Chains A and B, each alone.
Chain A
Amino acid sequence: MSTTTATSRARDLLGVSSLSNASLTTWLHGLPGVDQVGCEARAAALGTRSIKTTSKAWAIDTAIGMIDLTTLEGADTEGKVRSLCAKAVTPDPLDPTTPHVAAVCVYNDMVGIAKDALKGTGIHVAAVATAFPSGRASMPVKLADTKDAVEAGADEIDMVIDRGAFLSGRYRQVFDEIVATKEACGQAHLKVILETGELVTYDNVRRASWLAMLAGADFIKTSTGKISPAATLPVTLIMLEAVRDWRELTGEMVGVKPAGGIRTTKDAVKYLVMVNEIAGEDWLTPEWFRFGASSLLTDLQLQRQKLATGAYSGADYVTID
């Protein structure tokens, strides 16, 4: 979507003649508030669902297929990325029925390596961009970062919003940056990282979600993984409500990606229950829901083996990347 299309669509949705910061503020602050206690109670209640036997097996495979297997370290090397890609393709060499993950997520200098390693597998390469994780760079730098990754073959771009701008009420600036990044993505899908751990309140998460969707995000993503807290169930609940309500308003679906801190099968299943009961089953596919995670895959495999063999498995039976 070009800048002008995005802006004119936003004007239509807001019913304003000019998309000023003031009109964006009025719109975002007009969204229903979020009661923290009620929201957390709802998330906790969904977390008590008991998913057993066949439904657990389905959930484990579904979760594996939704993983953006991630390495975002200063110490990343070509070897590390190739190894991660190998694991992405064949999580369990002893059990070929294990599905592969959705994507591998790396810094933009590793995109080419990953692309090469994943050739022909159908697994996407996602790159973090826009001066990830802080986003503290000038706009030309952020756009260059994005274009660089796209040119290297990234299928998906995970950008960060300017939390400083958002928290100081410069919504139009955040909107413009997302629109510009989206334009720089070309065919690549854009995931917009809200960094909810820095937005702090659920009201902010809801507003940031709507702002990102208004600006054309294909996905809204909780966190960089570099800030604590990263993804939480209540934050994801708010974002799932946002994409659900956005579809009611516009007819368009937007994906959701919790990232960081999701390490166990139990956690992953809670998220899937939440997707199922809040956004609805249309979102229960890698096209619309992802987990940004690294160690989660290992636990999903352990649980998968437990279901297959009936005995508890151990770390020695799961390959590291």
Chain B
Amino acid sequence: MPKFEYAPAPESRAIVDLASSYGLFINGELVDGTGSSFKTINPATEEHLADIAEASAADVDAAVRAARAAQTRVWGRMSGAERGKYLFRIARIMQERSRELAVLETLDNGKPIKESRDVDVPTAAAHFFYHAGWADKLEYAGLGTSPRPLGVVGQVIPWNFPLLMLAWKIAPALATGNTVVLKPAETTPLTALLFAEICQQADLPPGVVNIVTGAGETGRALVEHPDVDKIAFTGSTEVGKAIARSIAGTRKRATLELGGKAANIVFEDAAVDQAVEGIVNGIFFNQGHVCCAGSRLLVQESVADEVVRRLERRMKTLRVGDPMDKNTDVGAINSKAQLQRITELVDAGEAEGATRWTAPCELPTRGFWFAPTVFTDVSQAHRVATEEIFGPVLSVLTFRTPQEAVAKANNTPYGLSAGIWTEKGSRILWMADQLKAGVVWANTFNRFDPTSPFGGYKESGYGREGGRHGLEAYLQTGEGA
């Protein structure tokens, strides 16, 4: 029995008023779809939360038509200053309803309440706030002359940061004068539907934002819809490639933010306590359901044992369990399917001869759970070192020289992010130059900001989201049509 046992500190779910079923948000109204429905559950308890409409191709078509009408008649004609005021309104309402959004996100996603409360929701609101200010300043973005919207944007987002990914997609699209049809992930539709209500509260003109819930088929209908001008997708590399193929030969534009297998590189002169925190944050933040997670720890051989020892000690203090408890550090795995995928890869890691260590913790009996796990004795050839696990599983590899670290870090088809831990400034700058990754965190990890462009090299996708660079994906420039 520990001396200082933290008593349960559950966030109240009373603030959330869940309906038993939800429709689609098309042309400013929540409407019944013409397709079937599916259930969304709380992955921490397997409790059935609500029935969600599965948008059919006809529903998607209705949403695209609403978006087109809104774009040509209202939103595309509105001055940037007026558009910006709507975005400011949305940002403010998100802040006002932040607790409700956080609780709902945690219920539907399984992530710890402290993360939805301190990261997802405030950062989502900040994205709207940042982009609101761009709406009437686009000609200053330096992206070319006479910037104009593309038209209707189809957006498909993942389940790992449901509201935040929605914000990353919708805020820049709206700021640049586009209208959107967004499909949230099938396991996490609820905050997007609450966002629909926020659009109504903000009096956003109907059709500017449309939300169609559903699974892969709904997403395909949206991507392949002939009247969509641009696709913005965050998700797996496999689906990203399918999207790239499906729009080939058309004039649809795309930004793809896909998978990763980031190297988090720790040198012997690193500030070791902060490096350990960075490793923990890098892989256990959001249960490792992060495309830019630092899933490969590359540690210099001279300090490998010490770093791993400190890491394991630190992992013993991670509190795994009820996501609604304010002291929970690691919540539930988002779905049964994802848990199976993690389990399969971890089994493969053991079978391939890597050494597994799992933090001692009691897991709840219901729901989907995976205890924080580290593999040592991993080589580049192991599946756990090459495949994206998307769970709380870290693979540790070693290196001897900076060149070797770079070679190993870049030895992957992915190129989303990387981490560097060293107290030597010139080495940081050299490493940052060498790493083929869209985001390089030096002496920190998993930092996000609306002003900071995010996106990958190679098979991690193309295009950037956030910052001045993120606007480019939603604008056409130059003279002529």
**Interface set of A (CB-CB < 8 Å, partner B):** 32-35, 37-39, 41-42, 48-56, 58-59, 62, 241, 272-273, 276-277, 281, 284
| Contact among B6, B271, B278 with A49 in the assembled complex (CB-CB below 8 Å) | B6
A117 CB to closest chain B CB (Å) equals 31
| Contact among A38, A52, A284 with B271 in the assembled complex (CB-CB below 8 Å) | A38
| Contact among A35, A273, A277 with B443 in the assembled complex (CB-CB below 8 Å) | A35
Q: Cβ of B9: which chain A residues have Cβ within 8 Å of it?
A: 50-52
Q: Are A38 and B443 in contact (CB-based, < 8 A)? A: yes
A277 CB to closest chain B CB (Å) equals 5
Is chain B's interface secondary structure helix, strand, loop, or mixed overall? loop
Q: Cβ of A37: which chain B residues have Cβ within 8 Å of it?
A: 443-444
Q: Are A272 and B326 in contact (CB-based, < 8 A)? A: no
Q: Are B7 and A42 in contact (CB-based, < 8 A)? A: no
When each residue 401-428 of chain B gets 1 if its CB lies under 8 Å from chain A and 0 otherwise, what string results? 0000000000000000000000100000
Residue of A nearest to B270 (CB): A32
Q: Are A55 and B5 in contact (CB-based, < 8 A)? A: yes
Distance, CA A32 to CA B327, complexed state (A): 29
Q: Are A39 and B273 in contact (CB-based, < 8 A)? A: yes
28 contacts between A and B (CB under 8 A): A32-B272, A32-B273, A33-B269, A33-B271, A34-B274, A35-B274, A35-B443, A35-B444, A37-B443, A37-B444, A38-B274, A38-B277, A39-B273, A42-B273, A42-B274, A49-B6, A49-B326, A50-B9, A51-B6, A51-B9, A52-B7, A53-B7, A54-B7, A55-B6, A55-B7, A56-B7, A58-B5, A241-B273
List 4 tightest A-B contacts by C-beta distance, closest first: A38-B274, A50-B9, A50-B326, A35-B274
Residue of A nearest to B303 (CB): A32
Q: Are A276 and B4 in contact (CB-based, < 8 A)? A: yes
Q: B118 within 8 Å of A by Cβ?
A: yes
A36 CB to closest chain B CB (Å) equals 9
For the side of the interface on B, what is the size category? Answer: 20 to 34
Q: B3 within 8 Å of A by Cβ?
A: yes
Q: Cβ of B269: which chain A residues have Cβ within 8 Å of it?
A: 32-33
Q: B317 within 8 Å of A by Cβ?
A: yes
Q: B436 within 8 Å of A by Cβ?
A: no
Interface residues of B in 273-311 (CB under 8 A from A): 273-274, 277-278
Q: Are B4 and A38 in contact (CB-based, < 8 A)? A: no
**Besides A38-B274, A58-B5, A273-B4, 7 other CB < 8 A contacts?**
A32-B270, A32-B271, A34-B271, A34-B274, A41-B277, A51-B7, A62-B4
Q: Are A277 and B317 in contact (CB-based, < 8 A)? A: yes
Distance, CA A241 to CA B271, complexed state (A): 12
Q: A281 with B3: in contact, given A35-B271, A37-B444 (CB under 8 Å)?
A: yes
Residue of A nearest to B5 (CB): A55
Q: B114 within 8 Å of A by Cβ?
A: yes
Q: Are B4 and A34 in contact (CB-based, < 8 A)? A: no
Residue of B nearest to A46 (CB): B317
Distance, CA A49 to CA B326, complexed state (A): 7
When each residue 1-19 of chain B gets 1 if its CB lies under 8 Å from chain A and 0 otherwise, what string results? 0111111110000000000
Residue of A nearest to B317 (CB): A277
**Interface set of B (CB-CB < 8 Å, partner A):** 2-9, 114, 118, 269-274, 277-278, 317, 326-327, 423, 443-444
Q: A42 with B4: in contact, given A34-B271, A35-B271 (CB under 8 Å)?
A: no
Distance, CA A255 to CA B53, complexed state (A): 60
Which interface residue of B4, B5, B271 has the most chain A CB atoms within 10 A?
B4
B148 CB to closest chain A CB (Å) equals 40
Q: Cβ of B277: which chain A residues have Cβ within 8 Å of it?
A: 38, 41-42
A132 CB to closest chain B CB (Å) equals 31
Which interface residue of A38, A55, A59 has the most chain B CB atoms within 10 A?
A38
Q: Cβ of A50: which chain B residues have Cβ within 8 Å of it?
A: 6, 9, 326-327
B271 CB to closest chain A CB (Å) equals 4
B204 CB to closest chain A CB (Å) equals 34
Q: Cβ of A38: which chain B residues have Cβ within 8 Å of it?
A: 271, 273-274, 277-278, 443-444
| Contact among B2, B274, B444 with A281 in the assembled complex (CB-CB below 8 Å) | B2
Q: Cβ of A49: which chain B residues have Cβ within 8 Å of it?
A: 6, 326-327
| Contact among A32, A33, A35, A55 with B4 in the assembled complex (CB-CB below 8 Å) | A55
B334 CB to closest chain A CB (Å) equals 23
Q: Cβ of B271: which chain A residues have Cβ within 8 Å of it?
A: 32-35, 38
A303 CB to closest chain B CB (Å) equals 15
A160 CB to closest chain B CB (Å) equals 26
B447 CB to closest chain A CB (Å) equals 10
B420 CB to closest chain A CB (Å) equals 12
Distance, CA A38 to CA B278, complexed state (A): 8
Distance, CA A281 to CA B1, complexed state (A): 11
Q: Are B4 and A39 in contact (CB-based, < 8 A)? A: no
A199 CB to closest chain B CB (Å) equals 17
Q: Are A33 and B423 in contact (CB-based, < 8 A)? A: yes
Q: Cβ of B327: which chain A residues have Cβ within 8 Å of it?
A: 49-50
Distance, CA A38 to CA B281, complexed state (A): 11
Residue of A nearest to B329 (CB): A45
Distance, CA A39 to CA B423, complexed state (A): 14
A244 CB to closest chain B CB (Å) equals 9
Residue of B nearest to A284 (CB): B3
Q: Cβ of B6: which chain A residues have Cβ within 8 Å of it?
A: 49-51, 55
Residue of A nearest to B2 (CB): A281
Residue of B nearest to A238 (CB): B273
Distance, CA A37 to CA B7, complexed state (A): 30
Distance, CA A56 to CA B6, complexed state (A): 8
| Contact among B4, B326, B443 with A58 in the assembled complex (CB-CB below 8 Å) | B4
